[in-house]
Structure 1
Amino acid sequence: MGKLTALKIRSLIEPGRYSDGEGLFLEINGKGAASWVLRVQNKGKRQDIGLGSLKAVSLKGAREAAFLTRQKIAQGVDPVAERKQERQVILTFRKAAEMVHEEHKEAWKNGKHQDQWIATLKSYAFPKMGDRLVSEIEGPLIRDVLAPIWLTKPETARRVRQRIGTVLDWSYARGFRATEAPMRSLSKGLPRQPKKENHFAALPYASVPNFLQKLGERESVGRVALEALILTAARSGEIRGATWSELDLEAALWTIPAERMKMGRVHVVPLAPEAVAAFERAKAFKVGASELVFPGQNVKKPLSDMTLLKILRDMDLAVTVHGFRSAFRDWVAEQTDYSGEIAEAALAPTVSNKVETAYRRTDFLDTRRLLMREWAAFCKKTPPPSDENRHDESNARAWIRTGEADVEREVRSALLG
């Protein structure tokens, strides 16, 4: 039996806390307002939980609320967190996806990726789960979204799965879901996708010289851009977005700013004489209204990524533009004695391990200058250097490799401890 009664409560006028027992109090403040408070031990800590004002909650109601609250705590439920979640408006998957897209799109440098990210969800996820609350979405529903395209459009399906997971993880972080995205279990409910041997179909490096010779039979902004891409081992977006201010043709250097690089770091590309010549030919397409080296039909915008691919298709080649980077990497491995670290530095890829991260203290510019000269000479069937030049180059490479060995020993020693 509690200590308080309805009659006693009506007689209370002094500010303070009046106990009813078992942690339940009626609290009266200095302005005469009264409210119910329950004091409990929750996970070893004392906690005061408000149960409502005296005007809204009667003595009987307060006792019932106190009993239910103590019961929940005994079951491991946090009543305060539960109450916050009940008050929070849970978003639909559609609304959550739109908010994630809005928050993240500025961090994506590729405008096409910005559009594709939300477009894939609109096409494949929204029809089945767009109007469902994010708190209700579990593995079976996600599987039903992915199953129709899992084998017929495997790459698209993987992207949809990843983007659904991003939206649900974001919702968990915002308190709209009780758990993170249930993505791990999906593999059990979907068939195994066939492995794709070559993600980027590449022209064998031995065929690149003849390809470039055929490419040069006609001159267009797209063909010159593709030649420059091959001679610099650059990505399509890097070459298509190149500006004249990035190029120093006298110093034979192309400095790509961090905001245009996949890893967000400045990348300096040493230009072989053949690459410099390609950029010099690009001046024929220069227009005053644009700073772009390779302008598109709208001169203030870069060439479309499909322009370079169309050149390959018109030449009856079932390869990708990106595949020329693979051809370069294979040529370095099989036809030269440059280290893998030098080749990777030339490609400026995603750093994959601690050793490569440590190597990023130097960009091996001098070594890469020699490497890109040899690659360009191979690609363009340029006559080899004179005996004197070869002697100077051999000495330079020997000197540089001595420095590389010192760096490698230092790096590996630091990593080992």
Structure 2
Amino acid sequence: MLTVKQIEAAVYGISSDRLHDGNGLYLRLNKGGSKTFQLRLRMGTAARWITLGQFPKLSLRDARMQAVLKKAELLDPDYTPPASDSLSHMPDLPDASGVQPLFREFAKVWFDRKRLSLSNGKHIDQIWSTLKTYVFPHLGRMRLDEIKQRHVIAVFDPIWRVKHATARHTLGRVSEIFELARLLEHVEVNPADFNTKIAFGHVKKKTKHLPALEWERAPDLWTWLLECDVQEDLRQMVMGLILSAKRTKEIRFLEWADLDLKRGIWTSQSEHMKMRRTHRIPVSRQLGGVFSNMELLTQGSDWVFARPRNKSGVMSENAACILVQKFDPGITAHGLRTTFRTWARKQSKYAHDVMEMALSHEKDELVAAYMRDDLLDERRILMQDWADYVTGGAVPPQLIDLV
């Protein structure tokens, strides 16, 4: 992190040409003696430099805020820039030189910016709800500069062991709030940045996985699904869920425009993906049969699994979960991904990267830097083998034959 004194003392030819402040913000030292704030953005594989303004006309504090807003504007297609071009007159940003804001007031500033990068409504509500439940009753009416580490520790100590995951995530949010306050010079240190093992002691974590169907029973689920009494479009969606090993959101919001059935490719758009990147899926013969059936059931709709009467316009996630649990109350729809992954590993013939790419799992940063191929051809073999195993090699009954 830069300070104003460091910026004033920096000289072209003696210091580095660019001084890094953090969050993509740099100070460029120019040959003529001027100093320019620049923002570095990664757009795909290329770096892009954006000039924000010259120091001292643009202060360090305002440059940091401009960097935050400019990143949101360029990286979030739904971002709406503020009406005023002057950051100092933004109504929701307390002035660091004036009265210190209360924690709750500044938490709202942080939250309004945080939600720009989020698309899951439940997650957005959960973030604010945890702050209201666990933090605001203790810190909400305190000024930012009054809050010390002992106050933060006192908030989380009662719940750190009994609600460890919730406490850990909420502490992370409090830390982000104070980090923004530090960047805007409301506080000098982040009181939520400390060693939790020292503060609260070691916590033995027990990872609880979502219940999953044993891979040997996948063909039994398929046979049951063919015969059970259920709405046809829901039956087809759960078939697609099994055959594709996709997350429920990814299949629910599938559009016809995402399908290239001649080439046998389904492209999940980034806004529906957990990792916010597009994901190509090879379409097996059986999955192609599901899509053929849905063409008859949802004629004229942009969505493949449309439900016009639902608020979302597509089938609900709960409908798929309830149907799967009618077969076995102890499993979940999401757990079918584990069923697929376990089956694939048991075959001992598919590369690890192929199996992980099929599930669109996040790659290690170093691996991602060197691996640019999405292994579509290799995954096509994997997904066809899986479909043949689940269905016994048969294509789902075609509704057109029953008309």
- Superposition TM-score, scaled by structure 2 size: 0.67
Give the conservation status (yes or no) of the 8 Å contact 1:139–1:185: no
Matched AA of 1:279: F
1:328-360 per-position Cα deviation (integer Å, ceiling 9, x unaligned): 22222221411111112211111224124311x
Classify 1:257/1:125 alpha carbon distance in 2 versus 1 (closer, same or farther; 3 Å).
same
Deviation at 1:306, TM superposition (A): 2.8
Counterpart of 1:132? 142
Secondary structure in 2 matching 1:94: helix
Per-residue CA distance 1:52-86 (angstroms, 9 max, x = gap): xxxxxxxxxxxxxxxxxxxxxxxxxxxxx9xxx97
What is the match of residue 116 of structure 1? 126
CA distance in 1, matches of 2:103, 2:235: 44
Instruction: Establish whether residue 106 from structure 1 lines up as the match of residue 116 from structure 2.
Output: yes
Aligned pair 1:304/2:306, yes or no?
no
- The aligned counterpart of 1:178 is 188
Whole-Å Cα distance in 2 between the matches of residues 284 and 195 of structure 1? 49
Are residues 1:153 and 2:192 paired? no
CA distance in 1, matches of 2:378, 2:363: 19
Deviation at 1:203, TM superposition (A): 1.9
Q: CA deviation digits over 1:251-274, x for unaligned, max 9? A: 321111223223332211101111
Structure 2 match to 1:377: 388
Larger radius of gyration: 1
Distance 2:356 2:96 in 1: 52
Task: Please list the CA deviations of residues 22-75 of structure 1 after superposition, one character each: whole Å capped at 9, or x if unmatched.
Answer: xxxxxxxxxxxxxxxxxxxx89x99xxxxxxxxxxxxxxxxxxxxxxxxxxxxx
Residues 321, 183 of structure 1: CA spacing in aligned structure 2 closer, same or farther, 3 A cutoff? farther
- Give, in angstroms, the shift of residue 133 of structure 1: 2.0
* Cα root mean square deviation, aligned: 2.9
**Cα 1:283/1:170, change in 2 over 3 Å:** same
Q: 1:182 to 1:120 in 2, by over 3 A?
A: closer
Structure 1 residue aligned with 2:359: 347
Structure 2 distance, partners of 1:141, 1:308, is 45
**Aligned position for 1:335:** 347
The residue type paired with residue 292 of structure 1 is W
- Aligned match for 1:204, one of 201, 207, 214: 214
1:114 counterpart letter in structure 2: I
Q: How far apart are the structure 2 equivalents of 1:215 and 1:145?
A: 49
Question: Letter of the aligned partner of 2:386 in structure 1?
Answer: W
Q: What one-letter code is carried by the residue in structure 2 that aligns with 1:294? A: F
Amino acid of the residue matched to residue 151 of structure 2?
A: L
Distance (Å, rounded) in 2 between the aligned partners of 1:223 and 1:141? 53
How many Å separate the matches in 2 of 1:183 and 1:313? 43
Q: CA deviation at 1:247?
A: 1.5
The residue number in structure 2 matching 1:233 is 245
Structure with the bigger percentage of helix: 1
Q: Counterpart amino acid of 1:270? A: P
1:232, distance to aligned residue in structure 2 (A): 0.9
- 2:369 is aligned with 1:357: yes
* Residues 318/191 of structure 1: CA separation in 2 closer, same or farther (3 Å cut): farther
CA displacement at 1:300 relative to structure 2 = 4.7
1:89 pairs, out of 86, 99, 105, with 99
Is the contact made by 2:286 and 2:394 (CA closer than 8 Å) also made in structure 1? Answer: no
Which secondary structure state, in structure 2, belongs to the residue aligned with residue 355 of structure 1?
helix
Unpaired runs of 5+ residues, structure 2, are 10-59, 61-94, 396-403
Q: How does 1:263-302 map to 2 (within 5 A)?
A: 263-286=275-298, 288=300, 290-296=301-307, 297-298=309-310, 300-302=312-314
Q: Secondary structure at the match of 1:216?
A: helix
Paired position in structure 1 for 2:274: 262
Please say if 1:165 is aligned against 2:175. yes
Change (3 A) 1:210 1:189: same
Contact 1:202–1:320 (Cα < 8 Å) also in 2: yes
In the other structure, the counterpart of 2:378 is: 367
* Structure 1: segments with no counterpart, 5+ residues: 1-41, 47-80, 385-417
What's the TM-score once normalised by structure 1's chain length? 0.65
1:268 aligned counterpart, secondary structure? strand
Retained in 2: the 8 A contact 1:139–1:186? no
Measure the CA separation in 1 of the matches of 2:218 and 2:194. 42
Change in CA separation of 1:140 and 1:181 when aligned onto 2, cut-off 3 Å: closer
Q: Map residues 51-66 of structure 1 onto 2, 5 A cutoff.
A: none
* RCO higher in structure (CA 8 A, sep ≥6): 2
Q: Deviations over 1:118-160 (max 9, x none)?
A: 2221222222222222233333333333344434433322221
What is the CA-CA distance between 1:191 and the residue it aligns to? 5.2
The percentage of aligned residue pairs carrying the same residue is: 29
Contact 2:219 2:391 in 1 (8 A): yes
Given that residues 312 and 318 in structure 1 are in contact (C-alpha distance below 8 angstroms), is that contact kept between their aligned partners in structure 2?
A: no
State the distance in 2 between where 1:166 and 1:110 align: 19
Larger mean Cα displacement after TM superposition, 314-323 or 339-348: 314-323
- For 2:217 and 2:369, the matched residues in 1 are separated by 33
- Of stretches 170-179 and 317-326 in structure 1, the one that deviates more from structure 2 is 317-326
Contact 2:103–2:140, Cα closer than 8 Å, also in 1: yes
For the pair 1:144 / 2:154, whether they are aligned, the reply is yes
Which residue of the other structure, out of 313, 316, 320, is the alignment partner of 2:332? 320
Distance in 2 between the 1:261 and 1:185 partners?
33
